[in-house]
Amino acid sequence: MGMFEEFIGDLVALAPGLRNAAQLAATTIALAYPLGLLLGVLLDNRVRLVRIATLVVVELGRGMPLLVILYLVYRGLPEVGVRLDAMPSAIIAFTWSIGAYSADMFRSSIHAIPPGQREAAIASGLNARDTLRFILLPQAARIAIPPLMNLAIITFQLTSLAYAITLPEIMHAAYLRGSVTFRYLDTFVVAAVLYAVVAIPAALLVRRLERRLSRHLA
Amino acid sequence: MFEYFGYIALGVLGTVGVTFGALAIGTVVGMPLAWLRRSRHAIVRMPAVAVIEVLRGVPNLVWLFLVFFGLPQIGIRLDPWSSAILTLGVASAAHIAEIYRGGLAGLSRGQWEASDALGLSRMDRRRLIVLPQMQRVIVPTMATYAIGLLKDSALASTIGVVELTFRGGVVTQRTGDGLTTFLVVGVVYLLLSLPLALAARRVDSRMRAKFSVG
């Protein structure tokens, strides 16, 4: 078999893995960012208990390695009678971790808005909720977009960790393929290419967008 | 569960070993990489850009598997520890190179021009003007990056490096209590990252105090 056929064979073997990886990444983003926005706002809540509880959730989500969180959900929850498949486990673990990261981004974006904006909103008679909704969040969104897009790329790359809980993503497929052909190197190179062709152009795009969004600030 | 705590705690050594081993490689290899990346000549700059982008574009777990499971195919066999430290080290060199670059980019051209005007040699300019100012920008970013690397070192468990996460897996298998075990393991990571987080914050606030303009 020629090298080209081998390459195509590897690609075909890894394709379902790419689909699962994309599905995990997309679901995570869809759940984690709204959660992160909520957590980010709650981090500044007036009630001390809410603030502390939120901080614990965020710091655990950010401070524990994602691999450990994956094990915690997949191998830990059965202890309390919750037995989940690999995909739901991965979605829970990823949402916690990525949500916690994005919470910090949302919060620091809100904090990056000049204090005069909030003061002016209050002086205009807006209440706290409307100030957040009409004045702070629209401006924070603009600041938060590039880091959130970067986090989305990182999320896609991190789906490789779900290999550890037997989710049939790219690495899982590559390992299986390797155990049949014994060409582990070739197959993992193909896996690397799959990640790179998504992550590198996406990262370049985000950087261009970042420059565009900050043009008026220069 | 309690009798296993010592067994888990011993994993700190492995985790810290992999983290600092990789960090050492990254800080050293990152320097020439950052320097090449800043070259005026495209022929030098472009390969450096390509290396940095590819290293960052491919996830660390994939690099790890490439080295540990893939390289034996061409006769290069490394043990799990060397594979983990080497792979995470080289991969982090790309990120650290970008941190260095950010530090250099933060300095205005005037600093170089002023050093020239004062007649400083290249060596003195680097030692007295560039590095001390770069350090202020770099240290908090590096501390934050080191926290990320500490957590990434957990990947080493997937190729059989016996560190914190690996030991957590062993204890889970023996006791069946994955919930407590991995919560303990996770909190140990959190505790390990605290000194780094404090370092980042302290330098950060000291820096803000010093440059409180704007």
pLDDT digits (tens, 9 = 90+) for A147-190: 999 999 999 999 999 999 999 999 999 999 999 998 999 999 99
Residue B148 sits in a domain whose CATH number is 1.10.3720.10
Q: What is the ipTM of this complex?
A: 0.91
Can you give the pTM of this predicted structure? Answer: 0.91
In chain B, how many domains are there?
1
- Å between A80 CA and nearest CA of chain B: 8
Q: Which residue of A has its CA nearest to B70?
A: A185
Output Rg (C-alpha) for chain A, integer angstroms. Answer: 21
Residue of B nearest to A164 (CA): B158
Please check whether residue B214 lies inside any domain of the structure.
no
Cβ atoms B193, B147 nearer than 8 A: yes
pLDDT tens for each residue of A32-41: 999 999 999 9
In a domain? residue B181:
yes
Is residue B214 within 8 angstroms of chain A, CB to CB?
Answer: no
What is B67-116 written as a DSSP string?
A: IIIIGGGGT----HHHHHHHHHHHHHHHHHHHHHHHHHHTS-HHHHHHHH
Q: Is the pLDDT of residue B212 over 70?
A: no
| Nearest CA-CA distance, residue B169 and chain A, Å | 8
Residue range(s) defining the domain that contains residue B96: 2-209
Domain assignment present for residue B70? The answer is yes
- Which B residues 163-202 touch A at CB under 8 Å? 165, 168-169, 172, 176-183, 185-187, 189-190, 193
Please check whether residue A112 touches B, CB under 8 A: no
Contact residues on chain B for A59, CB-CB shorter than 8 A: 190
Evaluate whether residue B128 is within a structural domain.
Answer: yes
